Amino acid sequence: MVNSKNVAFKVDRQVPTSGPPPLPFSTVINCRKPGGRRAAKKSHEVESHQVPLASISSTPPQALKRKRGLDNVTAADELSKKLLLLRDGSHAAPNGTTSGLSESGDSLPAIRSKVVPKPRARRGKTFTKDVDLDCWFTIFTFSDPAQLLEMRHKISLCFRFLRDNPTLWKHSRTYYYGSDIPDPPSELTEFQYAHLRHGHGCMSCGAVNTRKTYWAFLRRWCKPCFLSKTLKEPEVVELLKDDDGENISFLRKCLPAGVVDSWGNFVGAGPAHTQSLKAVYLRSDVEELVAEFIRESRDNYVSWHAEMRTWMNNKAAVMEERRAFARKMELWEDVTRTSKSHDYQGKKDARKAYYIEMAAKLSPPISALELSYCGSYRRAIAIPKDPNMISWQQLRPKLETEVGELRASGTRLEDLPPIHSTSGTATPDTSIPNAPVIPMLPLPNPTTAPIMF
């Protein structure tokens, strides 16, 4: 019975020959295998616990001997005595050993209480305890404005929290960009400023790849939408007329203006100061300004001539603020783009110098001129990342294969046709002696490959 598996059985206490009758008592030994998902993680130790019983069978041990054999009863009686001694408490034996252990050193199965497993987070089950709002405020303060914009669009709780705490956008902007980036004008909120700066998509037609923001008009458009919504100065003069048909072109200083070149490319905030550049205005702004001028003149017909100058000065002050902000923002974007370009070019130059140095240490070494004719090398130095040993280990077998084929062909490098630039740009690489001249590639057809902004 002791060696049985996958069962639970009880061991009765022996009836004493003298003394008062014992209390009803029995020990249950559970030898079943644990089930469920945690079966592999739980130990396979035998668990036992003591259970008080209302009544115990008074079958004498001799009956067990006659039914089951002497060997099994002896082992069962020995295990029962050891379990009872452990229940009453371990006592030191006269020979110095602990009671419950046999002289041969046999140990008992480990007896332990059941451990309640800790609760685990399940997939699809939300936590009942929410994060404190102060913690969210601190997390959002150190987040990128582009990340805040993404969270505002995709998480409803973040949308409400960011809407009710506009100072988070300012903290995030100053933490990531410092004081170099200009503050938004009075016409924009912090969220609108972040949306124009980090968002994407045309605000008119919804083109996904559009990222060009026209700060003079505080809009993000693709080039076709920009050309369809703007008017040149001669066309604006024809629209600036009141109800009587009188010319009110003096209101142009109250309109936001941009500058385009002869090909219609946007240059920056207006007005234009050279002959080659043309000032453009938004059709909607012109129509709205004319309608407001006519409405104000009708409502304040008596005092309009005295109040018109104040009204125009207020409009011109707002436009001057926007124009100054647009120029600062365009300058900041140019400086940021230039510094990033220099950083990228520095990383490309570092990769080139590192690969040339490592190729010279090979056996046999590979010269810089041979590297310039390897396509894998030209692709590797066009990546704007710092070089490391991992990138060299990935490039080395490709170089050895290409250089081996080049040397096996027996052709001289001077006789090979011109190749693209080894610097990843459109200019020839002067750092390599006898570098091949880069041919000019034909421009794409504008009808088949339109320019996207």
What are the sequence ranges of the domains in the chain? 133-199, 339-409
Amino acid at 270: G
Task: Reply yes or no on whether the pLDDT at 187 is more than 60.
Answer: yes
Quote the pLDDT of residue 19. Answer: 63
Residues in CB range of 369: below 8 A, 6 or more apart: 413, 432, 433, 434
Picking from 145, 240, 229, 237, the residue whose alpha carbon sits closest to that of residue 195 is 145
Q: Is the pLDDT of residue 244 over 50?
A: yes
Entry pTM: 0.55
Phi (first) and psi of residue 385, to 5 degrees: -135, 155
Cβ contact 1:76 at 8 Å:
yes
Choice among 80-84, 100-104, 188-192 with the minimum mean pLDDT? 100-104
pLDDT at 380 over 60: yes
Neighbours of 443 (CB within 10 A): 7
Q: Which of 148-157's residues contact partners 24+ apart within 8 Å by CB, and which partners?
A: 148/172, 148/194, 149/194, 149/195, 149/198, 149/199, 152/191
Nearest partner of 255 among 226, 222, 283, judged by Cα: 283
Mean pLDDT over 426-439 rounds to 43
Q: Is the pLDDT of residue 142 over 50?
A: yes
CA atoms within 13 A on the CB side of 63: 5
Q: Indicate the SS3 state at residue 375.
A: helix
H helix count then E strand count, the chain: 14, 9
Average of per-residue pLDDT across 152-173: 85
- Residue 92: what pLDDT? 43
Please state, in angstroms and rounded to a whole number, the distance separating the CA atoms of residues 168 and 132: 16
User: What tens digit of pLDDT does each residue of 413-432 get?
Assistant: 766 666 655 444 444 444 44
What is the residue whose two structure tokens read 């926007």? 322
- Residue 254: DSSP 8-state: G
